[in-house]
Structure 1
Amino acid sequence: MSPRIGLDRATLLQAATEMADEYGLESVTLSSLAQKLKIRSPSLYNHVKGLPDLRRELALSGLSKMAARFEAVLPEACGDEVLHDFSVAYLDFARQHPGLYEAVQRAPDPEDRELSEAGGQVVSLVVRVIETYGLSGDAAIHAVRGIRSVLHGFVSIERQGGFGMPLDLDVTFRLLVDTFIAGIKALRVQGET
């Protein structure tokens, strides 16, 4: 294999993203990436420090794409539509980029300021969605954790082929989000009494 002319970090990251989305995050190794790019593995060290650095870059890319998707739907909706649109954007991202989705699920090293800030930006967008229900402080954080758990649970079961019955998954998803919304409204009412 001869060195590939014009290989840059963006090309490397795009190839790693394609591999992660098609075969899963664990399939992305320096060896497999080098093979895909038709280069020798040591050539990758001109662009990344190693596999942990590559996975960090995938997580940063995933968080950036996820945030852009969430920002795109937030101004368009109002009322319960905000949470529905956010939830659909979350599901669509996970379906279209399963490898990047997997990469963003790992908690960042607290010392990694850039990754923590990227994750914080996504969380702040989710908080904005939850705040439309009048929740703030601890109640908002609990609700953010709740919607993340609900959405991640659905994504994980769907990805593993766990929904075997012949019913429309999008209908199930909408019912799930509607149920969560009813719970948030109940939580808000409890907070008011």
Structure 2
Amino acid sequence: MPRAGLSRAAVTAVALDLVDAGGAAGFDRLTLAAVASSAGVAVPSLYKHVASLDDLRRLVATESVAELTRMLAAATIGRSGGDALHAAADAMRAFAHAHPGRYAATQVAPRLGDDADAELAQRAAEALAVLTAALRAFDLPEDSTVDALRMLRSAIHGFVTLELGGGFGLPDDLDRSYRFLMDGVLRGIESLTPA
């Protein structure tokens, strides 16, 4: 019989807390043993709620992407163009700082066409829809939208990964450098707009 209060959602919540407690590497280090220990149960008890570590990692990724999407939507509502992109970028960076393990989980790409990843794919599509809407004001050619999204995500991810990992050792203001980066990304996206 499952432990009172333990459910699929409760197991996921424990795992979400653990991945953040583990910092940027928390998602990679997630184990069923750690979740069981934190929940006060034996590992076999978890199998009443999750099928495997892969299943639990998928649940963590799905919830993390959904949470990030809510933050992106709240940050960009009523904004457009460069203002929307800056707000989205700031929201992603803030999410990474507040939830480093969950942020790492958002980098998991769903396997398209795999039924097990269907919900993760749906949440990822919702996140991309928010970012795509922020790009609409640029009137990009349709085939450039994916390039612009990849450029935006890569720039933010690279900066945040270095920042969280202590990769910026110089005493200069990181926020200033971040704004400089995002202004450059914005100019790059603007260059994709047909003349």
Name the residue aligned to 1:94.
96
Name the residue aligned to 1:7.
6
Q: Aligned partners of 1:129 and 1:43: how far apart in 2?
A: 44
Q: 1:6 aligns to what SS in structure 2? A: coil
Q: Aligned partners of 2:145 and 2:81: how far apart in 1?
A: 16
* Offset at residue 4 of structure 1 (A): 4.2
Name the residue aligned to 2:18.
19
* Offset at residue 136 of structure 1 (A): 3.6
Q: Aligned partners of 1:51 and 1:78: how far apart in 2?
A: 40
Name the residue aligned to 2:149.
144
Alignment RMSD, CA only?
1.4
Percentage of pairs with the same residue: 36
Stretches of 4+ moved more than 4 A in 1? none
Q: Aligned partners of 1:96 and 1:87: how far apart in 2?
A: 14
- Any stretches of 5+ residues in structure 1 without a counterpart? none
Question: What TM-score, normalized by structure 2, do the two folds share?
Answer: 0.91
1:120-139 aligned at under 5 Å gives the runs 120-139=125-144
- Does the aligned pair in 1 maintain the 2:81–2:135 contact within 8 Å? no
Name the residue aligned to 1:184.
189
Name the residue aligned to 1:54.
56
- Any stretches of 5+ residues in structure 2 without a counterpart? none
* Offset at residue 106 of structure 1 (A): 1.6
Name the residue aligned to 1:106.
108
* Offset at residue 80 of structure 1 (A): 1.9
Amino acid of the residue matched to residue 159 of structure 2?
Answer: F
Matched, 1:162 2:148: no
Q: How many aligned residue pairs are there?
A: 188
Question: What TM-score, normalized by structure 1, do the two folds share?
Answer: 0.92
